[in-house]
Structure formats: C-alpha cells, structure tokens
Structure 1
Amino acid sequence: MSWWQVLPGLVGLVLLWMLPGYAVLRLLGVRGLLAWGAGPAVTTGLSGVLAIGYGLLGVPWRLWALLLGLLLVVAVAALVGRLLGSTTDPAGVTVAGERRLRPVERLWLVPTWALGGGVLAATMMTGMGRADQPGQAWDAVFHYNAVWSITQTGNASSLGGLSPMYADLAAPFYPAVWHGIVAVAPGFPGVTEAANSSSIVIGAVIWIAGLVALARVVWPARALPAVLVPVLAASFVTFPAIAVSMLAVWPFALSTALVPGTIALLIATLRRVLSWRMHLSLGLGLAWAVAGVVLAHPSGLFSLLLLGLPLLTVLLFRQLRRQARAGRRVQAWVLAAIWVLAVVGVLTFLVNFGPVRSIMDYERGGQESYLPGMGSLIVDHPLVYVYKTTSVNLVVTLLVWLGIVLSVRWRHARWLVVALVGAVVLTLLAAGPADNPLRVLAGFWYTQASRLNQLVLVPAIMLAAGAGAWLASRIGRSLGAPVQVGAAILVVLLVVLTSGLRWTSHVQVMASTYTTYPIAWGTMLEPEEIEMIDRAAEVLPDDAMVLGEPVAGSPYLLHRAGVQVVFPQLSPIRDSPERRILEQRFDQWRTDPAVCEAVRALGVTHVYADSLSFYDEANAKYEPTTQGLYLFEPTEGDDFRKVDEGGSASLWEFHGCAGGDR
C-alpha cells in the first residue's frame, strides 16, 4: 500500500493528536505556537486517563468514545477559562514570548517547517518503503499486536488493558496510550499502516511543534530561533529515526516528543508577570501535559526531571536571591535547603521504588571506553547497531558549542547548558564501562544510551537555534542585508554541510529494520513470507491457533491476518508451562507425551515453519530459548499437511496430537 493511499489517515491522525489539546489550552488562555506545541501532550494525557476510566467503567474504547470524552473536557476547559477570565486575558497573547509574532515572522516558519518536517517525513517513508511494510525490530512485534488487541477487546487502559499480550495470564501496568490512539485512528485499513504513520506524526509534527514552542519561550524576544528549529531538528538521526525504527519504542518516542512542548508550557506557567488566575489556568493545562508525558511512557517523568530540574532550580534560586537582597536571608536559606532536600528525597524514593527499581536493574552491557560514545555524540552517529557513516552533523555541533559560549551573555539560557551536560553525562554513563557505580543513574532509561541520547537533542537544538539566530544576524549585517537574508544563507549552509539534512543516514536507519536485507539484528520476514501471512486470513479456518517460533515471524499473523497465535510477542510469556514446553521440546512431539498435552491445552491446530537460518545470506534472527521450534521441518503426511508457503516459511495443518495416545 502506497503512502498516498493512507494520506487521509495521516491527516486524521495529526488532527486527532493536535486539535483536542490545542482547544483545551486555547480555552484556558494559552495562545499561538505554545498551544500548538504543548497541545499533543495534553491530548495524550487526556486520552490516557479516559482509557483508564473507560476500562474501569466497561465502556469500549472506540473513536466515538475518545472524541466524546475529549469534547467534554474541552467544554470544561471553556467553563474554567470563562470563570477565571483566562480565555480572553491579554497576557495570553504574550505568554509565549515578550511580543506577539508578526505575520511575516509566522510566514518564515512555513518554509522551514516544510523543509525540516518534510525531510523527516520523506526519509521515514523512503526507508519504510510502503505504508504496510512491517518493521522487524524486537519491540515492533509487541506494539503491532498490542494495537490489534485493543481493536478487538475495546480496552486501552494502561492498567491491564494489554493482558491478551500475556495470554491473559497477567494484567500488568503497561503504557498503552500510544496503542490506544493508534488503534482508533480513522482512515487506516490495518494496524501496520496506522503504526507506521504514527512515526511520521510523532517526528515531523509533534516533535517539531514542541521544539518550536520551546524556542519561542526560551528566546522570547526573537522569532528567528523558532524559525530555525525545524531545520536543525531534521539534521539529527538520533530522533525520531532511531526511536521508531531500530528501537521501535513508539510509546517512549511519543513521550520524548512531548517533552519539549511540556517544558515550554512549564516556563510559560511560571512567568512572574501573570495574574494568579492565569497561573492557575495554565497550571491546569500543564498538569495534563505532564500526565501525557508520563502516561505515554513512565520514563518520561525522569526525562522531565532531567531537563526541567535545572530550569526550576535556576528560577527558584533567582527568587531566593531577591529575597536575600530584600533582607530575608534566613527565609531564603531555609527554602533553598528545603528544595535540595526535596529533590534528594524524591530521587531517593524513586531509586528504591519497586517498579522503578526493576527498570534500573535491567542489565545492559557497555563499551570499555567513553571515547566511542563521545565521538558518536559529536557527529550524531547512532549509539546502537553498526551503521555506515554516510553523513555527519558536525556543523550543528559547532552551533551548539557557539550557543554554550554565548550563554555566558544569555543568562536566561544557562539552564540549557546544565540540562545538556546532565543528558550527555548520563548518555556516556550508559554507553561506557559497565563497572562504573554511577551508571545506575542511567537506569531510569533502561541504561540504554540510544534512549538517553534522544534527550540530549532538546537543549542542544535550543542552544543551536539561539546561536544560529545570532550568526544569521551577523551574516545579514556583514552583507548589509536584512536578517532574513542571513537566515536563508545559514539554512542553505546547514543543508549543504549536513549532506541534505542527513538524508542518506535517515533513510539507512529507517530501512535497516524495514526494507534492507538482511534486517538489522536478524531477519524475521522475507517479502514472500509477508504475502503468505497476509493470505492467512483466507487460507486458515476461523478457529486456527498457530504455533511457531516467535522470531521466525509467526506473531505477525495476529495483527496482519487476525489469526490467533500461541506466541503474540517475542519475549517469553511467564507462568505458562505449556508454552515453555513447546518452546523447548516441540520437536520431540512424537516421543514426549507432555508436548502433546501442551498442544491440546493451547488448542494448537497449525504450525508455522521456517527454514531460514542464522547462517543464511538473509541472516535470520536467532533465539536460543526456542530450540524446540527452531528450523522445524514438517513432512507431508498424516500428521502434517501444507496449506501455504512463502519464501522460506510455510504453514502446516497439524494432526500429530489429535489422538489420545500421545
């Protein structure tokens, strides 16, 4: 299926994520780019809470239910805004900046967003190939099937709504907001198309909107930093490309994309020039935005703390310094001590909190030295997998360094330097030697450098935008031309010096788990195999239950053909001894009675076989824990009957355990 065919769905998904949150914020008094940038976070927060509420009340999760709930919240926001007088408060016009953007300045943003967002969208589409091309990263399998599960059960609650992914043997907390929104997105014929399209929306729309909003409040007196942001953002491969392809962590990617807009709203909410009514009104919007970041993925809380604590600390100590100068030194010192103790106390609690501890204890290897990680950060080379260096981002790194130098003059931007240093240090800790005791601090993000590196981009892009605006004004001044000319020259230089905004690198990363064979970390599906899976809905009976090695591709039957499978995800399903037996000993079904008992208990009717091995040219994904299913070769006869094949894979009707003698 071509991307043109899903264009209506793409547009609908953009509107679904952007408009409800924007409407709520606008009615609460937030205006312009800030409302657009923070709006998706509010939508996400509202959707997450609605999904949990609907799950408790037994209301099915459908598009109409989501829209009805969002409409009610918009109505409440209108009432609150009217009661507080914040909807029409003049302060809302300038809350996102010291002055309102002129029409011509808004016009400048159109071509830069079209360029930056267009490059991100086009490279993702090019790398994925087709809208219905399945990603083959480990996590992608889980997320595709989780979305399909929601369409069937009508339960998108993060509190156990994804229990079918665990064979209904467990109902754990799992952040299901992304899955819920994608599941009800209109205009898509299947789960794959909707999920793949969400990558484009997250990267080219939500991420850039949040960064533009943040630039607007960080550099309130100037429009040019916000105008340059889309181009600068497109020069980084670290996000969104790595997040939505190699890692395939859509919930985490959504949470990360929501962080800039939420921090922008935080800055606006804390402006001293606002009345208490505006503070309260914006605070309500901020609460929903924070909820969106955290419900999208719990690690978003730590992302906000990492990037937001420097800002809050700077703002607090500025206020305390004013109090000290006014003669209230004791009070200032007491408040400072309380703040430090509060931060330490919260971090101590989180480090020892059970669910958080389980994330922090996730074991992940590192490199022997910090130098490779430092080199990758400098040129924006992926900190995961082994990719060819087809382009580098050294020019933007130089702009970041220029921004750091200029922050000596820009006092209001110094918190960005602190946030940048913090994110870089944690990234290097995750990427470096595993025996460093401080490495535990990276555990909030699964000790994965390629996740932490995404957070580096937020302060880095802000500093580069400020430096770029300063440089553009100098270029224009030296030529005796308007600043627009200097900005245009800078944009052209950025495009040229980054090899077309890293086009080849973006495409390489996206294609590595979609269309470039062998697939990174091992191939699960060949092109002909995908066609076989898509035919399965017609080939197999409605009551079919398919057993196959998960990494060989069998889980894709669930969301692409609606065919039930024994293993809906690649990770083992706990508390299922029958599945464990089949994983380890299915090839012994003739001699081991326990195997047939497990087959009958799970209702297995068909077997998914795949002869593609780890040593073949296509380099099949290998999993040592499923040796009972690995390279299983059925033989046509009374026990097995082939019903379809595609590439190295085949589907077989299985009767070997039908009798009671086995």
Structure 2
Amino acid sequence: MAVTAILTPYFGVDWSVLPVAVASLSLAAVFLAARRIPKLRQPHQPWRTAIGTSRRMLVLAIVGFALGAVSIGLQLRAAFGRPENISQTFDNVFHLNAIRYVLETGNASSMTITGMTNGDNPPYFYPAAWHGLASLFIQVTGLPLPVAVNVLNLCVATTVWTLGCMLLVRSIMGSNAYAIGAAGVLAAGFGSFPILLLDFGVLYPNFLSVSMLPGALACVNVFFGTSIFANVGPLARYSLAPLSALGVAVAHPNGVMSLAAMSVPILLAAFTTFAIRQRRAGRPAGVTVLAGAGLLIILAIIAVLWMYVRPPAAAATWLPVQTPGQAVGEILTNSAMQRPPAWLVSVLVIAGLIYVLKRPSSAWLSASFAVIAGLFVMVSAGPAGTLRDTLTGVWYNDSYRLAALLPVAGVALGAIGAAWAIQSLQNGITSISQQTAFTSTLRAPVAMYTVGPLAFLAVLGILQAPPMLTPVRSAQANYSTSPDSPLVSSDEMALIEELDQYVPPEATIAVNPWTGGAMAFAMADRNTTSKHTLTTYTKATELLNDKFREAASDPAVCPAARVNNVRYVLDFGTREVHGGNHGFQGLQIPDATPGFELLARHGEAKLFEVTACD
C-alpha cells in the first residue's frame, strides 16, 4: 500500500482504493505465476498438514487471540474516552493535518507529504504509510477524521500486533498450542506497547511500524531456516522477509533498523548451525568460508545503514532519564518508563529466557531481547555523547521509542515461559495420577488438556490487567478535551466545529500552530497558514505571523494576505502546547483592532474576519 502511494503520482492517479486494488491484484498475479515454476511449486497437501495444526492448537490460538485482542481493545477504548477525542500532544498537529492533506491533494506519497510544511522548499522523504492508510480508511468508511484515527489504531493494535506476536511464537515453538495461545493473551500485558506510543508523542507511524515487527521477525526467522515451520516452500520462504521489511521501513525507517538489530542473532544462529552441519558431514571448509564471507557482508551493510538511516543529529536531542540500575530494574520488572511493575509477566519472561537458553534452536531470541534491552539501558541511562548517539540516534535518542521495542521479544519469551509452566504442571499431574491410578477415569485428561489450558489463558489475562490501569489513565489524560487541554481546549474545539458557518471553503485562516489553531485544517477542513509547529514559512506568511494585526496601517500586510487568500484569523491566545513563546504577535488580535471583525468567540478563543484587505 505504501509503495503504491509513492508510485501513483507518477501515473497521474489520485490516491484511493483503486490503485491499491490494482497493485494488490498485480502482486498476487506475480506470485501465482511464480508458483507455476517447477522449482517454486508447493506440493499440494491438506491445510492442517501444511501448517501442522491440531484441533487443540486451533482452539487455544483462537481463544488466546480473542482474549488479547479484546483486552487491548478495552484498554484503548478507555484510553481514548470518546471516539472523536484527539491526542492533545505536540506531534498530533502534523499527523492529523497530514491525513487531511492527503485527502485534499489525492497524494499519499512519502516523497512529497512534507510539501505541507516545507514552504517554498522542495519536499523530502517522510514515512507516510500510516497517513495513507488512515486517509484510505476515511474514504472507505466515511468516518470523521478523528474517529477514523482512533478506530484505525485500535484495529492495528488488536490484530496486526497480536497476530504478529502469535506468528513469531509459532515460528519458534512450532505447533505448541499453549505458547501460541499465551502469546495472544500476553500481547495485551505490556505497558510499553501498544499503548505507550499512542500516549507519548503521539508516534503514530512508529506505532504502526512496531506493530508489524513481530510478524516481520517471524518472516526473517523463516528466511534463514532457523524456524520450526515445516513445509515452507521457497517462494514463501524467500519473499516474505524482504516484503515485510519493506513494509516496516516505509511505516517508519527506525522500524526496519529495529528489525535489523533483532535479526543479527538469527543470522549468527543460522551461520553457526550451517557450519556445524557442514563439519559433521565432512564437507570441504570452502563452502563454510564462503557463507562466513556472506555473513560479514550482510553485517557490513547493516553497519552502513545504521550510520545513514537515522534522523539528523539536531533532532536526536533526548537526554538520559535515569540511572543504569533503574533501567535494568525496569527491564526485569517490565515497567519501562515508570510503568507499574508487571510481576506475573516478568516471571514468565524470565522463565522463557531460561527455556530458550537451554535450546540452541531458540537461543537467538534471548540475544534479540538482550540487544534491545542493552540499547534501552544505553539510551535511558547511558552518558550523553558519541557512543550513545551512535548506538541509539536511530531512535532520536528517545527512551520511549526503545521502551516500546522491549515487548517485541518480551511477549514471545513470556508466552514460551507460560507454555513451559503449564506443560511442567501437566507433566507433574500426569506423574502423580499414574502413581495413584487416577488415569482410570476420563475426567482428568479432559480437564488437564482442554479445560485446564483454557482456564490458564483466562487467568493469565485477568492477572495481567491491573498493571495496565496506570498506562490507560496516563493516555486518558492526553486524549481528554477540557478547558485546560494543552493543544486544543474545549472552547477552542467548539469554535473549530463552528468554522464552516463563518469561513467559506476556499478561504485560508491565519493560525499559530503552537496554540492549536492549525488543527482547524484537520478538524474543520479549512486551509490554514500553518499545518505543523515545525513549519518552514514563506516570506508572505512570516510577515502575517509578525504583523497581520497591523493590516489597517501597514501597506505590506494585505498583499501578503492575498497571496494565499488569507481572510480570517483564529486567535487562541498565547498558551502553547509545550509552553514557551514562539512569537506570532501578528495573530494576537485585540477585540477592537481596526480592520478585523470578531465573528465568533468561545471563552478566550476568537475568530476574526479581515476587513482591512477588502
């Protein structure tokens, strides 16, 4: 979808369901044709045989997914409050306005979306997959923009994230029904994802990218032959990992670097396994040396990408927030970024670590977890400097972004630990029952192998819920609209909702984005002089920002206003989303200012029409 969005402008096609459908069908046709190539053909077999499922696995997988998805859905429903609520945070100015920009221009390309904020300068790359998906969702459903955003994020969290976690565990543990079911439940048990990136920031593109990571990591596991999947044909094995990596990259570039960091242990495990097999088979060492050279080339490519696929140093300004001991404690208790400790989940993760370390085929997962844990310690507690910038600048040196990555491997480890616990319990009960001749009845096996695991998943879901209350309440504060909301207060929102009564569709409104005025573009579909706090302004707009209220006396103002048909001003006072004062004195209009007519007012929020430039 995201690649299609980049390509459609070159074909003169507007962004809609049509080009996505054409691209999807075209890709499907390519795979269908490839399946007919003899060496790529997959032998026909019943679907259960192909994926190695049993009835018990299907039941536990469905129940685990349902419990996890419903739990995440309830968490986010409580966090959002009302469907039309918006995140009252800094980055949301850009994200919601970017959706409106896509709808207005018919262009969702990541190569051009920054034209919205870049003034007279050429646009540059910005990951717009989430914005394209949100705009497509609005076109299909007709939902209001804020409602569509919340519904979309809820759907991504409940399905993409949860099913991806289950697929990752499936690739590591095979048809272990307990592990797969537990992965679905535990997907809802971490305070650092998915709710953290929907609270802090908000980091919607990063949220989409991380949601895709577990599934993408499973595809990498399959690609290098370190997974437990059987009967995977070459077409699926070698195509899914590159395609999923591309999707993660266009969702957010630091997502694909996260994938690369977590995939290095898979590369090392695959090479080690290959080298051991070659030696045991008595084959010449030349093939192993060649494979080692290939490994070094891949690692070198990752190192080069690591230095270049990152934001500018000026944007990576986040500083450490705690001591190394606190950071390690947060990892061990699954309480990253001051979330409440999740004791049950922590015990299961540690149990999962012990389990995978005892088995060479799955030990790479512990290393992937250790990589992210080490990066989190460095970013949140390491000394600011070159080493920290080199290691964590990919994520803006932002502790929140790396905290959100901990559950990618954490859910899988916890699920494996849970499966190990219930299997050990069953083995103990079986041993006792055999010694006491309890197996002469049928009730014990039924309860132990059917009802017991289902009850275990249910109890697991219930016990992990209390630690999630604090993250939910934190998000509630950011999604509530009140008289003191930091971005758009209730008075300001009421005025924005009335704009269509006063402002014609073709007119432009002068706004200070730091006070929330720029949200008129997203919420009311009225053009604004600024659509993000970090906008690069044209000279005409800069003049209005500084001197618009002098329109009746300064002859240079009205010509600047006519450049973009600026005929109205939203004055939301001087309180900014992050505090501070970024100027915009020209848009602070006293009630009796000559050349301006007050059209509407809610509290301190005012709408003026410019009469001086008629």
Could you state the TM-score of these two structures normalised by the residue count of structure 2?
0.88
- Counterparts of 1:224-373 in structure 2 under 5 Å? 224-271=178-225, 278-328=233-283, 330-331=285-286, 334-335=289-290, 337-339=292-294, 341-353=296-308, 356=310, 358=312, 362-367=316-321, 369-373=323-327
- The answer on whether the counterparts of 1:119 and 1:501 sit within 8 Å (CA) in structure 2 is no
C-alpha separation between the residues in 2 aligned to 1:497 and 1:274? Answer: 31
Is the contact between residue 162 and residue 171 of structure 1 (CA under 8 Å) also seen in structure 2?
yes
CA contact 1:534–1:560 (8 Å) conserved in 2: yes
User: 1:554 aligns to what SS in structure 2?
Assistant: coil
1:460 aligns with 2:416: no
> Structure 2 matches for 1:155-554, cutoff 5 A?
155-167=107-119, 169-185=121-137, 186-271=140-225, 278-328=233-283, 330-331=285-286, 334-335=289-290, 337-339=292-294, 341-353=296-308, 356=310, 358=312, 362-367=316-321, 369-381=323-335, 383=337, 391-439=340-388, 440-479=390-429, 481=444, 482-498=448-464, 500=465, 502-515=467-480, 523-554=486-517
Alpha-carbon distance in structure 1 between the residues aligned to 2:547 and 2:334: 45
Pairing 1:625–2:582 present: yes
Deviations 1:396-417 (Å, cap 9, x if unpaired)? Answer: 1111111112223222221011
Aligned match of 1:42: none
Contact map agreement 1:362 1:446 (CA 8 A) in 2:
yes
- Per the TM alignment, residue 208 of structure 1 is displaced from its structure 2 partner at its CA by 0.6
Return the letter of the residue paired with 1:295: V
Question: Is the contact between residue 4 and residue 23 of structure 2 (CA under 8 Å) also seen in structure 1?
Answer: yes
Q: Matches of 1:276 and 1:206 in 2, distance apart?
A: 24
2:437 alignment partner in structure 1: none
Name the SS of the counterpart of 2:312 in structure 1: helix
The Cα of 1:647 is off from its aligned counterpart by 4.0
User: By how many angstroms is 1:349 displaced?
Assistant: 2.2
Superposed displacement of residue 506, structure 1: 3.9
* Residues 321 and 332 in structure 1, CA contact (< 8 A), matched pair in contact too: no
Contact 2:197 2:207 in 1 (8 A): yes
Segment drifting more, 265-274 vs 286-295: 265-274
> Using a 3 Å threshold, how does the CA distance of structure 1 residues 276 and 416 change in structure 2: closer, same or farther?
closer
RMSD of aligned Cα (Å): 3.0
Gaps of 5+ in 1: 1-46, 615-619
Is the CA contact (8 Å cut-off) linking 1:612 and 1:648 kept in structure 2?
Answer: no
CA gap of 1:531–1:94, structure 2 versus 1, over 3 A, is same
Q: Percent identity?
A: 23
For residues 257 and 45 of structure 2, the distance between their equivalents in structure 1, rounded to whole angstroms, comes to 31
- Aligned counterpart in structure 1 of residue 523 of structure 2, from 540, 554, 560: 560
CA distance in 1, matches of 2:593, 2:550: 17
Which structure has the larger Rg? 2
CA distance in 2, matches of 1:629, 1:226: 60
- 1:444 Cα shift? 1.1
1:529-569 deviation digits (Å, cap 9, x = unpaired): 22221221222122321112112111111122111101111
CA drift of 1:101 comes to 1.4
Counterpart residue type for residue 241 of structure 2:
L
1:198-232 superposed Cα distances (whole Å, 9 cap, x missing partner): 11111101001111111111101412111111211
Distance 1:474 1:546, change over 3 A: same
The match for 2:608 is 652
Aligned 8 A contact 2:549 2:593 in 1: no
- Distance in structure 2 (CA, Å) of the matches to 1:324 and 1:587: 81
Compared with structure 1, are the counterparts of its residues 533 and 261 closer, same or farther at alpha carbon in structure 2 (3 Å cutoff)?
A: same
Q: Following the alignment from structure 2 to structure 1, what is the Cα–Cα distance between the partners of residues 580 and 563?
A: 24
- Are the aligned partners of 1:145 and 1:165 in contact in 2 as well (CA < 8 Å)? no
Moved more, 253-262 or 540-549: 540-549
**Other structure's SS at 1:624 match:** coil
Contact 2:596 2:610 in 1 (8 A): yes
SS across alignment from 1:234:
coil
Aligned partner (choices 557, 567, 572) of residue 605 of structure 1? 567
For 1:77 and 1:469, locate their aligned partners in 2 and report how far apart those are by CA, in whole Å.
Answer: 36
Which amino acid letter does the alignment assign opposite residue 643 of structure 1? Answer: L
Structure 1 residue 140: deviation in Å? Answer: 1.5
Distance (Å, rounded) in 1 between the aligned partners of 2:112 and 2:547: 31
Q: CA deviation at 1:165?
A: 3.6
Q: Deviations over 1:602-627 (max 9, x none)?
A: 4321111123747xxxxx54243235
The match for 1:151 is 103
Give the superposition deviation at 1:162. 4.3
Count residues in correspondence: 594
Say whether the 8 Å CA contact 2:64–2:180 is kept in structure 1.
Answer: no
Letter matched to residue 245 of structure 1: D
Distance in 2 separating the partners of 1:293 and 1:651:
42
Relative distance call for 1:629 and 1:217 in structure 2 (3 A) is: farther
Residues 209 and 261, structure 1, Cα contact 8 Å, conserved in 2: yes
Post-superposition Cα deviations, 1:330-356, rounded to whole Å, max 9, x if no partner, equal 426634652453245224422443x63
Q: Is this contact kept in 1: 2:186–2:411, CA < 8 A?
A: yes
Any conservation in 2 of the 1:360–1:443 contact (CA below 8 Å)? no
Structure 1 residues 69 and 538: CA distance shift in structure 2, 3 A: farther
Residue 438 (structure 2) aligns with? none
Alpha carbons 1:545, 1:565 under 8 Å: kept: yes
Q: For residue 364 of structure 1, what is the amino acid of its counterpart?
A: W
Note if contact 1:96-1:220 (Cα within 8 Å) is conserved in structure 2.
Answer: no
Give the whole-Å Cα distance in 1 for the aligned partners of 2:541 and 2:475: 33
SS in 2 for 1:205: helix
* 1:577 lines up with 2:539 in the alignment: yes
Asked if structure 2 preserves the Cα contact closer than 8 Å seen for 1:86 and 1:277, the reply is no
- What is the CA-CA distance between 1:134 and the residue it aligns to? 1.8
CA deviations on 1:337-381 (whole Å, 9 max, x unpaired) are 52453245224422443x636268622222352233333333444
Distance 1:587 1:393 in 2: 55
**1:550/1:76 Cα in 2 relative to 1: closer, same or farther (>3 Å)?**
same
Q: Could you list the per-position Cα deviations for residues 108-135 of structure 1 after superposition, in whole angstroms to 9, with x for gaps in the alignment?
A: 2222222211111122122212222122
Q: Is the 8 A contact 1:241 1:509 kept in 2?
A: no
**Quick one: structure 1 residues 96 and 409, their matched pair in 2 at CA, closer, same or farther if it must change by over 3 Å?**
farther
The DSSP-based 3-state class of the residue aligned with 2:187 is helix
Q: Which runs of 5+ in 2 are unaligned?
A: 431-443
Structure 1 letter corresponding to 2:512: E
1:269-309 superposed Cα distances (whole Å, 9 cap, x missing partner): 33389999922343223322221111111112211111111
Residue type of the partner of 1:603? N
2:441 corresponds to: none
**What residue identity is the alignment partner of 2:582?**
T
Q: CA 1:544–1:91 in structure 2 vs 1: closer, same or farther (change >3 Å)?
A: same
Worse-superposed segment, 274-283 or 544-553 = 274-283
More deviation, 203-212/238-247: 238-247
More divergent stretch after superposition (136-145 vs 344-353): 344-353
- Which piece of structure 1 moves more, 550-559 or 282-291? 282-291
